[in-house]
């Protein structure tokens, strides 16, 4: 279903932000620097001569809304997809249809791709031939810097427009229109005090969607008085704004709370909880690369040598993400989450590397023992480098008692394996080596 088909989405139970979506540029609020009178983008839209563009800006500033306005203006076939739910196969089908539509019917196709930064390189490459040959006009919307997230080839064939957070004046216009328009809250007979409206505008922080969601919540939760009026005062606005903050914000505290809960669920060996928090992030359009990066860290930090394959599973999830993209990669990422959550846990690697760093900081750069120095370059032998070095593979079990630390560091012990998983075997092996060292030293004259 085309998400811009208002006949099915703009019903009375749809969110206020959807019901109030502008139908034309005249209704569109904000972004005067690119859509004001006489601006190139405005002329391209009104004259229906648009070429491929990338709309870049934070949430709630009108990227999707502008796409909707274009869909109402153009005479071409307008399609809309979300990068979070579209795969390469679907994109190839759309490209083939666009090519046939242009070749046989003389119709052009405009494709709006929401969250275009979530398409992987391969998926973005699928779009390139159609854009280059003129079969397709691309409108990409992204909250991330397109110069980092979008292929250079696509960028070179697109005009980039940066949308800015809406001003408080813009937001006040949006709010007052919603209060008066029958599509919005006009039929509810509500009045919002000036200080309440100012508070809602201020906490929206340039985001029209946040403003409209909070405004609607404040109005609907305010009971009519004896005259049937809903009087929203500052207290009601503050309470509504606080309630609306219970959401996932990629740049706010809730972002860190959710990822913290995710990591702690992995560490606590609870796969169900870990998958739940993962799903919360997916639905909130969290960058999947961020999630995989956290898996890589956790696999080494909290599983470590208890099951070294955990790190490989996290790496495989990252590989799958880059090659498949979302939503297909959600499955291998979930597989890695389940594997890591159910793996034996050990943080001995963290303690070991931190201990080694602390030892270096305390002792400084000690000279490398002569027998461990590089003996491969010309003249090294004359300096004695490598002399008396014992090659472990020449000895039984490929092990020989030998010092590998500077003289004043020989007692250093930073890696202490746990009894978990594979580390139990490692612990037994290191204990055998330690005992062999003691016996060897006892036999020395």
Co-location of 308 and 227 in the same domain: no
**Cβ contacts of 201 within 8 Å, gap of 6 or more:** 168, 171, 172, 175, 211
Q: What pLDDT score does 436 carry?
A: 79
CATH number at residue 85: 3.40.50.300
Tokens 């009026």 belong to which residue? 229
CATH number for the domain spanning 278: value is 1.20.272.10
Report percent pLDDT > 70 for the chain.
Answer: 92
Average pLDDT rounded to a whole number, residues 170-189: 90
Output the DSSP codes for 185-225.
TGGG-EEE-HHHHHHHHHHHTT-HHHHHHHHHHHHHTSPP-
Closest CA to 368 of 413, 412, 406, 407: 406
The answer to whether the beta carbons of residues 341 and 270 sit under 8 Å apart is yes
Helix (H) or strand (E) holding 56: strand 53-56
Tell me if 25 is assigned to some domain: no
Asked whether 6 and 21 are in contact (CB, 8 A), the reply is yes
Residue 404: inside a domain: yes
pLDDT digits (tens, 9 = 90+) for 385-419: 777 788 888 888 888 788 878 877 777 887 788 88
Binning the chain into helix, strand and coil, the percentages to the nearest 5 are: 55, 5, 35
Per-residue pLDDT tens over the stretch 15-44: 888 888 888 899 899 899 999 888 999 999
Both 233 and 263 in a single domain? Answer: no
Residue with tokens 């153009």: 74
For residue 26, is it within any domain?
Answer: no
CA dihedral (414, 417, 422, 426) in degrees, to 10, reads: 70
In this structure, what CATH number is given to the domain that contains residue 199? 1.10.8.60
Owning domain of residue 94: 31-162
Within this chain, do residues 98 and 140 fall inside the same structural domain, yes or no?
yes
Question: Considering the domain boundaries, does residue 6 fall inside one?
Answer: no
Distance of CA 163 to the CA centre of its chain: 20
Residue 19 within a domain? no
> Would you state the torsion angle of the CA atoms of residues 210, 214, 217, 221, taken in this order, to the nearest 10 degrees?
170
Q: CA-CA distance, 184 to 68, in Å (whole number)?
A: 18
Looking only at Cα atoms, what is the longest distance across the chain?
A: 105
Same domain, 135 and 237: no
For the segment 252-262, the average pLDDT, to the nearest whole number, is: 72
Q: Is the pTM of this model over 0.75?
A: no
Which pLDDT score, from 0 to 100, does residue 315 have?
A: 93
Q: What is the number of domains present in the chain?
A: 4
């Amino acid at each position: 279903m085309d998400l811009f088909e208002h006949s099915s989405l703009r019903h009375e139970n749809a969110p206020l932000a959807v019901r109030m979506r502008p139908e034309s540029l005249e209704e569109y609020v904000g972004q005067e620097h690119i859509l004001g009178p006489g601006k190139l983008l405005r002329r391209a839209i009104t004259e229906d001569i648009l070429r491929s563009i990338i709309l870049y800006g934070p949430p709630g500033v009108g990227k999707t809304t502008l796409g909707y306005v274009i869909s109402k203006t153009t005479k071409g076939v307008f399609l809309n997809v979300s990068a979070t739910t579209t795969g390469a196969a679907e994109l190839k089908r759309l490209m083939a249809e666009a090519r046939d539509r242009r070749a046989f019917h003389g119709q052009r196709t405009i494709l709006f791709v929401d969250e275009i930064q979530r398409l992987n390189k391969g998926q973005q490459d699928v779009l390139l031939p159609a854009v280059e040959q003129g079969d397709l006009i691309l409108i990409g919307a992204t909250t991330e810097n397109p110069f980092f997230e979008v292929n250079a080839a696509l960028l070179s064939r697109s005009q980039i427009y940066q949308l800015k957070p809406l001003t408080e004046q813009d937001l006040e216009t949006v709010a007052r229109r919603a209060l008066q328009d029958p599509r919005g809250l006009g039929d509810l007979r509500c009045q919002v005090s000036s200080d309440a409206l100012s508070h809602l505008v201020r906490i929206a922080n340039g985001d029209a969607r946040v403003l409209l969601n909070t405004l609607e919540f404040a109005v609907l939760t305010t009971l009519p008085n004896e005259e049937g009026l809903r009087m929203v005062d500052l207290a009601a606005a503050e309470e509504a704004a606080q309630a609306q903050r219970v959401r996932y914000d990629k740049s706010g505290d809730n972002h860190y709370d959710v990822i913290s809960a995710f990591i702690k669920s992995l560490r606590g060996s609870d796969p169900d909880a870990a998958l739940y928090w993962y799903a919360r992030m997916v639905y909130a359009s969290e960058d999947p690369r961020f999630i995989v990066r956290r898996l890589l860290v956790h696999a080494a930090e909290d599983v470590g040598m208890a099951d070294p394959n955990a790190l490989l599973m996290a790496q495989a999830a990252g590989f799958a993400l880059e090659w498949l993209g979302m939503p297909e990669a959600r499955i291998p990422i979930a597989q890695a989450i389940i594997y890591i959550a159910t793996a034996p846990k050990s943080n001995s690697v963290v303690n070991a590397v931190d201990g080694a760093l602390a030892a270096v900081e305390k002792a400084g750069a000690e000279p490398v023992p002569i027998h461990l120095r590089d003996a491969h370059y010309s003249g090294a032998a004359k300096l004695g480098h490598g002399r008396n070095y014992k090659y472990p593979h020449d000895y039984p079990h490929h092990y020989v008692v030998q010092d590998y630390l500077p003289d004043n560091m020989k007692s250093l012990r930073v890696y202490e394996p746990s009894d978990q998983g594979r580390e139990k075997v490692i612990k037994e092996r290191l204990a055998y080596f330690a005992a062999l060292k003691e016996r060897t030293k006892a036999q020395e004259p």
